[in-house]
Structure 1
Amino acid sequence: MPCTAKVLELRPSVDALLRQHVRTLQGTGRGQCSKSFVPAIRQELVMIALFQGLGLLLQDNALHRLPFDEQVAHWRDKTDAQLDEELSLLKVAKKQWVIASIIGWQAISLILLGVITHQLWQNDYHLTFSRVVIIFTSWASILFVMWYIADLFDHSAGFERWLRAFNSRARVTPDADSVECVADALDMTRRYPEVLRYKQEVTSKRELRHEDIVNMREMGRLRRYTELLRDLDRFDGAPRLVANA
């Protein structure tokens, strides 16, 4: 009986320890699950950054096909938060695009080279000089054709287009904007009211970006072109009369 009583006294404490241990294990499991779940989410977000960046490039390509007035209105409405977010996205997507392009182009070239090699050594496995020349010539030709295709593709979604999209959203810096470009934009701002109005509307909401300098110069250039064309139409070759004071 005394032994039975001692066992009965120990059971509540043992049950309590078991319940506490189970709660500890459950808490640890939830922590591990949450910790492993966060990197998975981040990795998924990084993977979709490439597709989001490509979508942003397609939007820029469509924007450049619109009239210039609509392009100016689009950039005028941009905020610092939007441009900084797009810059961060393009920074990640650009790196992924370079890696994917290198792997993709190399894989295609190696597959084509493998097909040519298989056709040459389909009947026998003798290594001859002519076959080696054919292999190296084919390899050089494949690389040249792929480089040419990539160069044509570069203007719409290639590395050059990534850099242009990134630099257009970057803040004005001496590396991206030369002294001549900034001086030209300043001269257009002083000369034409619409350029000054664009600059005031932009700077009231955010800092000037590289594309703003381009827009101000282009707005002034178009205005100057209109003035020169009007003067050309009015010019008939007759000498101007200068009134004496």
Structure 2
Amino acid sequence: MSRQFFVGGNFKMNPNCVADKIALTKLLNEAQLDPSVEVVVSPPFLYLIPLKEIIRKEIQLAAQNCYFKDAGAFTGEISPAQLKDAGIPYVILGHSERRTLFYETSETVALKTKAALASSLSVILCIGETLEQRETGQTTDVCAAQLQAVVDVLKESDWSKIVVAYEPVWAIGTGKVATSKQAQDTHADVRAFLAKAVSPAVAAATRIIYGGSVNKGNCQELAVQPDVDGFLVGGASLKPEFVDIINATVKKL
């Protein structure tokens, strides 16, 4: 099955000033981007609506998180309903920084995913193992457990609005990157899990993207792997090389 290549840019808590946001937007607006690639960028909440007004229409926006309630006394949170009302189509959920720094469990991520889908948002669902888990051969089991929590609360039809992002924790922001074989093997395992836990059709259709120090130098080798359907890019999404990563499937950058 042909799956549309997907590249997401997670700006995290950057840029830290309006001038940088404008410069980054100008770069993306003027770049020649592969029209066959779905591109989504995820700035801090503060910049979502202003960026939506000035970024080229081919690029969609994602929030970096949301809560699992639509309204209420939840200071500091943002709801799926608010994101939908603001015209933000995507949300990133389950990022390792949310799991480790803010103690989100897989069950919490599952509740957020269900709530986001109920508000007609699309979800970039992050999974991944630590270095210790990788070195002790637990990668497949860890990814399966993180996905199983979500499988337990969704219907099969819900998966049409989910992009799974495999991000080995040990490769995020470290400069380390999974080899193309490591990425492909894990993505294949994730797809096999979805085939068994949900359905073969969902497994074949679901895009599984890689995140973890993706850059201009490694993106093309990763992009040709049969089960790597794109990238979720962190630090490099704030640099000119993000354009090269978006165009990774073009033979000559």
Q: Same fold (TM over 0.5)?
A: no
Q: Work out which of the two has the higher radius of gyration on C-alpha atoms and give 1 or 2.
A: 1
Give the number of the structure whose residues are more often strand, by fraction: 2
- TM-score normalised over the length of structure 2: 0.20
Greater share of helix = 1
